[in-house]
Structure 1
């Protein structure tokens, strides 16, 4: 069965790729969709699963590639909300993922947003899209699957929190009111029952609703006898108006809507069918403004007292751990001087447990094995300390490497594209000749690393807060160290690429021979060698330009002096060219273990692939999980990292063993 409906624009969460940022061009890559299946909960009707087809034939990229807007929180009502645009022609489908590059505006009011993106404070983005055709199928033991087989992404927005894909069809807000509905074809593989079809038609078929709104008022309420005089016509008009006004006020009162809303419908002369539609929309909008839990109704912007207390206790404990990193908030002041056992006692009391007469040991045991909020507070403390230590560790490989996300643990194959075929002259009336792209292939997979440590009830009794803070902090540092070991290990190991030749090798044209000390002349020779790198056809010149000078810690000072901008040499022959001063020095002490003299050049990964590192999608960086111990009397802390890396192309890297 196929029918037409009208749909509003929909939104989904998207991801910024921080490693792709270009500060000069003010651009950054966005993974705007992976087509993942999400649960939709419409205001009327049953929930269903929505899935976006990521086949290039299913996605209309015209609007993105034409320079679609980059908005601020999906606000399409004012021009000031446009903070940038999609780089024309950058939208594409790769390995089942939608990728595009966005450029931020140079306007002064956009500058703070761009700085926050550079600093990593703004990471969440969301995409707006329209669906033109759904294919609906049934799932065993699950809601219907609505698969979008024809759809258009039309804008990307920077948002404070990533869009919730389970939020369903959004009610119209002030910023969305100007966005019109659009037609969508819904095709069901197996026609539903008559009752289900009738319900669907009554709820979602906006086309039919609009037709009813445009049609005159039903005539079955009016006698079919011919009208004979003006007085009869006037009487019937009065009766019809009384019915319209009375029904509107009756519906508004029964649904607890404001009297002014009903007055407006009456004054505007809205027909009964149109009034019913507006009343339903009003009820839906009001319902979305309030979340209802079994205990209390919480307006958006308000907070449950339990959540507020959990956050305050977490902040007080973190402040004890590091006052400089975690300033004390105002709600946390009343918990500042309490011990871990005192916190446990209070949480047990608030959850209805009678703690009168309990010993410290009983309170510690009960708090760790209860439904109180105390274990959640400990989990929040461990997670924040781990993340803080993880973010603080210097990862020097990030500037010249490229980050991606892996959808699973299968081997990822990265195609190493060659140069485009050279254009050849076409004579008048001549035939265009076909060309081919050469390509190589590298593959790697994401590996899992992890460890579990137990924190016992003795820690609570002894008020040993360090066990809940220093252990996760050490985990965070260890994870960041492991990532650096994996990436820098690729350079130090100099393993063979897919062509069975080492990463740095004379056959690759990226290994100096003879080796020379770090100097202007040596860097010039290395830059020339990188510029002469050819495509896979061994003929096309790629003109690769280095952007980073990588040295061991022993050469850090020499590298900084070499690229310093403020040195004025006494002799003309000692002048450092501006092309070398633009190199960014990177010092890595792991390189000292292999050589105190070897130095490297690396290109910007936006120009050519160098080393690629990947996290499992949804598990970027350190992940920590806590649970009440079964084998131990306490809390178990599990730390996990899903990470992998591989050199993708040798042409963006160069090594000189040094003198």
Structure 2
């Protein structure tokens, strides 16, 4: 057999398609003749073998059997087939459906006030009697926004070697990271390691469903009823026009099945079956699948917990998420190059380290507001 050097030269020229096989191997005969241990007939046989591969008279796998991928690891593993997979699909944010979006002026603590008002039933006043003076309760909430950043740097060598554009989408990933950070921040306001946030969903706040039932049509109906029967400090009913159901991916299918059901059959105490057209709970109800719930509720109940929120556009919100004025959207930055070619022309990398740097900056914060505007269950049945 001929040496690996001769075959490597032959394969390189075949890949470039710069010569015919006959000329290729014919040109090597003089070299082979200078080596007394090599038989020129082997080169002629190799020429005939490869020519049959080219013309289709011999299948390609004969060539691969004769010279395996281990003989040319870079040739077969890298040169012939190289591609870059796309990034994972990002999640769609849901927090805007159940948390109020706000804007703050600076980094100082902002205050939010909520009043119960003096709304209530008028009282009958007898002749010459004075009316009763009403007082209102005032609630105060406060929070401050913080600055969050992330970035990356690329060396000159990495940028030159990036023939698959692997680094072209990194700025887009930074922008998506800001969106993900918003969703995660809001999720941590209503969810903790065991499901519904322990300091927000409590018995005294009356926003935990009795028995923590699993998500079913009857339990969802009970939760909607509980939420829509809320009253203010003066006992006046609070009108809630739209409700947001929030679940993690573990309950996404169950929630959709409940909402999209077209018929419901109720069995009475005597065994009588009542067929109800429609599911009775889908009106003004929207399902929100929050994919960050399992990232927060890591210890328990990530796949069973569920929440109901009053839509923040119609009533006082349960949660508020604020951004800094003038920086409501994430901002992408890149470090200005500090070097240019002699003779003119800037380059996108630094003088000292030959690196290009980019980062994203986002400023946000938030707080929990009204416990009346939400109910929850960890789905454990306990």
Q: With structure 2 as the length reference, what TM-score do the two structures score?
A: 0.61
Q: Deviations 1:320-371 (Å, cap 9, x if unpaired)?
A: xxxxxxxxxxxxxxxxxxxxxxxxxxxxxxxxxxxxxxxxxxxxxxxxxxxx
Residue 404 (structure 1) shift: 0.8
- Find the counterpart in structure 1 of residue 243 from structure 2: 547
Aligned position for 1:608: 316
Match of 2:360 among 604, 620, 639: 639
- What is the rounded CA distance, in whole Å, between the counterparts of 1:541 and 1:522 in structure 2? 22
Contact 1:459 1:465 in 2 (8 A): no
Q: 2:187 aligns with which of 479, 488, 494?
A: 488
TM-aligned CA deviation for residue 574 of structure 1: 5.6
Q: Structure 1 residues 440 and 634, CA, compared in 2 at 3 Å: closer, same or farther?
A: same
Q: 1:400 aligns with which of 98, 102, 116?
A: 98
Q: How far is the alpha carbon of 1:399 from its aligned partner?
A: 0.9
Q: Assess if the C-alpha contact under 8 Å between 2:112 and 2:142 holds in 1.
A: yes
* Correspondent of 2:274 among 572, 576, 583: 572
Counterpart secondary structure, 2:191: helix
Deviations 1:188-244 (A, max 9, x none): xxxxxxxxxxxxxxxxxxxxxxxxxxxxxxxxxxxxxxxxxxxxxxxxxxxxxxxxx
Paired with 2:334 and 2:255, the residues of 1 have a C-alpha distance of: 45
- 1:89-168 correspondence runs (5 A): none
2:83 alignment counterpart: none
2:255 is the counterpart of 1:534: no
CA distance in 2, matches of 1:509, 1:494: 21
Deviation at 1:551, TM superposition (A): 1.8
Out of 213, 217, 235, which is 1:516 matched to? 213
Q: Does the CA-based 8 Å contact 1:520-1:576 persist in structure 2?
A: no
> Is the counterpart of residue 556 in structure 1 residue 261 in structure 2?
no
2: CA distance, partners of 1:448 / 1:474: 18
Aligned to 1:657: 378
Q: How far apart are 1:403 and its partner, in Å?
A: 0.7
Partner deviation per Cα, 1:479-536 (whole Å, 9 max, x = no partner): 22211111101111399xxxxx821011111101212222222122222322343324
Name the SS of the counterpart of 2:211 in structure 1: coil
| Deviation at residue 655 of structure 1 after TM alignment | 0.5
User: What is the alpha-carbon distance in structure 1 between the residues aligned to residue 232 and residue 117 of structure 2?
Assistant: 5
Q: Which residue of 2 aligns with 1:420?
A: 118
Alpha-carbon separation, structure 1, partners of 2:206 and 2:187: 21
Deviations 1:420-469 (A, max 9, x none): 33233456787665433212112111111112322333345335573652
1:617 aligns with 2:325: yes
Q: Look up the match of 2:109.
A: 411
CA separation of 1:445 and 1:631: change in aligned 2, threshold 3 A? farther
Are the structure 2 counterparts of residues 620 and 468 from structure 1 closer, same or farther at C-alpha, using a change threshold of 3 Å? farther
1 or 2, which has the higher strand percentage?
A: 1
Higher relative contact order (CA closer than 8 Å, sequence separation 6+): 2
Aligned residue in 1 for 2:284: 582
Q: How many residues align?
A: 264
Could you tell me whether the CA contact under 8 Å between 2:261 and 2:278 is conserved in 1? Answer: no
Q: CA RMSD in A?
A: 3.1
Contact 2:305-2:376 at 8 Å conserved across structures: yes
CA distance in 2, matches of 1:554, 1:392: 18
Q: CA distance change for structure 1 residues 392 and 553 in 2, over 3 Å: closer, same or farther?
A: closer
Quick check: 1:421–1:435 contact (8 Å CA) kept in 2? no
The Cα shift of 1:419 comes to 4.1
Distance 1:650 1:576, change over 3 A: farther
Is this contact kept in 2: 1:510–1:651, CA < 8 A? yes
Asked if 2 retains the 8 angstrom alpha-carbon contact of 1:515 and 1:657, the reply is: yes
Which structure 2 residues correspond to residues 207-226 of structure 1 after superposition, within 5 A? none
| Structure-2 change in CA distance of 1:494 and 1:525 (3 Å) | farther
* Structure 2 segments unaligned to the other structure (5+ residues): 1-86, 267-272, 338-349
User: Bigger shift: 597-606 or 561-570?
Assistant: 561-570
Cα distance in 2 for residues equivalent to 1:656 and 1:574 = 26
- 1:612 partner SS: strand
Instruction: Indicate if the aligned counterparts of 2:333 and 2:360 stay in contact, CA closer than 8 A.
Output: yes
SS at match of 1:601: strand
Q: Which runs of 5+ in 1 are unaligned?
A: 1-388, 496-500
What SS does the aligned partner of 2:169 have? helix
